[in-house]
Structure 1
Amino acid sequence: MVNAQSQESSSRSQGLTYTDQALLHEIGRSASAQRIEQDIQTLVSFGTRHTLSETESETRGIGAARRWIKEEFEKISADCGGCLEVFFQSRVISGERRIPNATEVVSVIAIQKGMSDPSRYVLMSGDIDSRVSDVMDATSDSPGANDNASGVAGTLEAARLLSKHKFHGSIVYAALSGEEQGLFGGQILAEYAQENNWRLKAVLNNDMIGNIEGINGVINNTTARIFAEGTRQTETADEARLRRFTGGEVDSPSRNLARYIDLMADRYIENLDTMVIYRLDRFRRGGHHRPFNDLGYPGVRIMETNEHYQRQHQDLRTENGIKYGDTIDGVNFDYAAKLTALNAVSLAGMANAPTPPAEVSIAGAVQPSTTLSWAAADPEQNPQLMGYKIYWRLTDAPQWQFSKYVGNVTTATLENVVIDNYFFGVASVSKDGFESPVVYPGAAGAFGE
């Protein structure tokens, strides 16, 4: 007779070993600190990029900055034979606390369409706008070198790297405006995605990815943070009642997206350890992934571990021998390149993998075994699909621990693995070994259809 423990060990050993991807190693090594430095220098040179700043000048203000960003995306597109669709996206905002008068909030969007599944998207973003101490001061110099020229420069660099390759799914590169005034650029793009039926599976918001010196005296270029919200904002009362009995508080799609990125760091980015933080953002603060989370899309914030508050949202000045202001000398370009590479390999991995499983369900209450089921992926959209892999972990474990490849099926049973003792999920696997993020069963973990 085979006992439960030996049967479980057997199940673990049957898992298809993760396939190391040469393409992702290449991408992970290719981010250029020099190009990122040049892009940050250019963005800083516009003086201020405040949302309410000058728009007509060719050399100063947010208008000049967004036109330059669009030109850079167009150059990247020209280099790949027109592979990017580049456009301004705008809306007039008024009557808001930080935008009282009618102001056109303009973001720059570039889309690299997928080969077989163009309606499935993953997205990377950075914020164009900058600010000083007074959030309404649109005229003072506001370099915004780290916050957030670093995120925009990283997004441009990721586009340069990934546009050299073709992927099954689509990739969006977004330079968003209006973040400091109320997350308006993200809200506009999130609503656009919803209106245009984007199957948006991942939003990687990059906000401050270049500082390695903390206000607490720590200097470290080997760690980064991934902020990921728990229970999804769109959860209904019925879904909440079910979740109370089935779990899922720590397995929202945003959390499993963060786990995926964490594994990409371990596998493909040298000397980088990411911290997955179970919170929407820093304590009582926010970022441009939030508008996407508000509509139910999986979104996370990727950023430096060690913040320096004298370099954030500050007038340029020196007081008592302390220098204040977000100037370029506070940016570590090698570190910004490292975090850019993390984004690029994560986007590439997801875009090349089959779509995350949909309609995942689970059964096994008062049974010795656990059964998972899911919907079959569309074969035309996912010609690279080989099959599916079940993952499970102890309920207090932060990362998936065990796995079993089950083939191209839509239901599978883990014999003598008791449902009460673990959390479970399913990932899609391509013929060449790319995997999707893991999807937790039920509405709590769904990545959408």
Structure 2
Amino acid sequence: MATLRGSVTPERIYVVSGHYDSRVTDVMDATSDAPGADDDASGVAVVLELARVMARRRPAATIVFAAVAGEEQGLYGATHMAERFRSAGADVQGMFTDDIVGSSTADDGTRDPYTVRLFAEGVPSSETPEQAAVRRSVGGENDSPARQLARFVRDTADNDATGMHVRVVHRRDRYRRGGDHIPFLERAYPAARFTEPAEDFAHQHQDVRVGEDGTRYGDLPEFCDFGFVARVAKVNAAALWTLAQAPGTPRGGRIATAALTNTTTLSWTRGTEPDLAGYEIVWRETTAPEWTHVIEVGDVTSHEVGLSKDNVFFGVRAVNRAGLRSPVAFPDPAP
């Protein structure tokens, strides 16, 4: 673990990780050769490169670079890390795990070298029964902190500078599988998983061997695409650095519900960043996956919008003097 302490709001933390343990066909086989190039030396390489590049710079918020063990055996390293953050009361506002980001070639030989998947859950893993009741009442299944984090990544890292398309997948992870972001989600930290566009299962979780049909098995470096890994690192860098330079996600977002009206009053708590310029309210139709409209409201902590909360979804984000915007906060109904 390496910590690049923020110069303005060091208490605000963003985490990026990969895992350095690997396995073969039998998860309990601790003696056979398990190179683990794609799963997950590729993710560890991304983390190390980010640390190398960013170490010479000073972000406003804190960035933590981590490589963890025990992922294949049950997410033990990430669980320990997330629990340590939670026990310390750390303000982790975003976490990414890079897991299986080493190849752009699928099992059928097709290549997609300019796409990376980003898995982001809908209903929060940490949701309490009380929170579930509110969500069922007002909606928000597509507006978890993880989904807002994923939208932020696509806005900042899907561009010509990275050369990559970020394909957001509205799932916590792949079918019946998981990664090191899950312990963070379970502790109410926004988190998401980067993974290559289509996996080749002959080159992960396999004994190193040649099959009877000539198929080569094993997670070897020769099956990795290092240009692809570099572009994934650029996506991570763009998202992490922008998160760390932008204001933090607004807190205390509320929608007034005491009176029945066809307008909507939103309120939130002002952030402590010294370069905070103000706030924007965003909204979209309930059937739209992305925020489509923006209302600049200035350096205030409440605003009334002439639209019914019954018909659209609202969010709030902060803006600093450099024009950088925070992830969106989805407001709760006021008690």
Please indicate, yes or no, whether the TM-score normalized by the shorter chain is above 0.5: yes
SS of the residue aligned with 2:269? coil
The alpha carbon displacement at 1:207 in A equals 0.1
| Higher helix content, 1 or 2 | 1
CA–CA separation in structure 1 for the residues paired with 2:142 and 2:49: 32
SS of the residue aligned with 2:31? coil
| Residue 261 of structure 2, aligned match among 363, 367, 373 | 367
Aligned AA (1:261): V
CA–CA separation in structure 2 for the residues paired with 1:401 and 1:366: 25
- Which residue is 2:248 aligned to? 355
| 8 Å Cα contact 2:163-2:231 kept in structure 1 | no
CA–CA separation in structure 2 for the residues paired with 1:402 and 1:269: 25
- Residues 257-303 of structure 1 deviation map (CA, whole Å, 9 limit, x = unaligned): 01111112234644321121111100010000011111111110011
- Which residue is 1:206 aligned to? 98
- 1:403 paired with 2:294, answer yes
SS of the residue aligned with 2:103? coil
SS of the residue aligned with 1:373? strand
| 8 Å Cα contact 1:122-1:347 kept in structure 2 | yes
CA–CA separation in structure 2 for the residues paired with 1:133 and 1:312: 9
- Which residue is 1:237 aligned to? 129
| 8 Å Cα contact 1:268-1:345 kept in structure 2 | no
- 1:418 paired with 2:308, answer yes
Alignment of 1:20-31 (within 5 A): none
Aligned AA (2:219): D
- Which residue is 1:344 aligned to? 237
The alpha carbon displacement at 1:369 in A equals 2.2
- Which residue is 1:191 aligned to? 83
Bigger radius of gyration among the two = 1
CA separation of 1:169/1:268 partners in 2, compared to 1, >3 Å: closer, same or farther? farther
| 8 Å Cα contact 1:269-1:338 kept in structure 2 | no
| 8 Å Cα contact 1:146-1:208 kept in structure 2 | yes
CA–CA separation in structure 2 for the residues paired with 1:216 and 1:437: 37
SS of the residue aligned with 1:372? strand
How many positions carry a matched residue from both structures? 331
Alignment of 1:78-157 (within 5 A): 109-157=1-49
Alignment of 1:317-336 (within 5 A): 317-319=209-211, 320-336=213-229
CA separation of 1:147/1:189 partners in 2, compared to 1, >3 Å: closer, same or farther? same
Aligned AA (2:319): V
- 1:441 paired with 2:331, answer yes
The alpha carbon displacement at 1:234 in A equals 2.2
SS of the residue aligned with 1:420? coil
CA–CA separation in structure 2 for the residues paired with 1:305 and 1:345: 19
CA–CA separation in structure 1 for the residues paired with 2:73 and 2:287: 38
The alpha carbon displacement at 1:421 in A equals 2.2
CA–CA separation in structure 1 for the residues paired with 2:193 and 2:162: 20
| 8 Å Cα contact 2:159-2:165 kept in structure 1 | no
Aligned AA (2:261): Q
- 1:428 paired with 2:335, answer no
CA–CA separation in structure 1 for the residues paired with 2:87 and 2:233: 29
Identify which range, 271-280 or 364-373, moves more after superposition: 364-373
- Residues 160-201 of structure 1 deviation map (CA, whole Å, 9 limit, x = unaligned): 122222111100000011100110000000011011121000
Aligned AA (1:305): P
What is the percent sequence identity of the aligned residues? 42
SS of the residue aligned with 1:300? strand
Alignment of 1:249-268 (within 5 A): 249-267=141-159
CA–CA separation in structure 1 for the residues paired with 2:197 and 2:52: 26
Aligned AA (2:71): E
Aligned AA (1:312): Q
Aligned AA (1:209): V
Using the size of structure 1 for normalisation, the TM-score is: 0.72
The alpha carbon displacement at 1:435 in A equals 1.1
- Residues 307-331 of structure 1 deviation map (CA, whole Å, 9 limit, x = unaligned): 0000010000111110111111111
| Residue 164 of structure 1, aligned match among 56, 63, 73 | 56
Aligned AA (2:4): Q
- Root mean square deviation of aligned Cα: 1.4
Aligned AA (2:246): A
SS of the residue aligned with 2:251? coil
Aligned AA (1:430): N
Aligned AA (2:175): F
Aligned AA (1:114): G
CA–CA separation in structure 2 for the residues paired with 1:361 and 1:218: 47
| 8 Å Cα contact 2:145-2:190 kept in structure 1 | yes
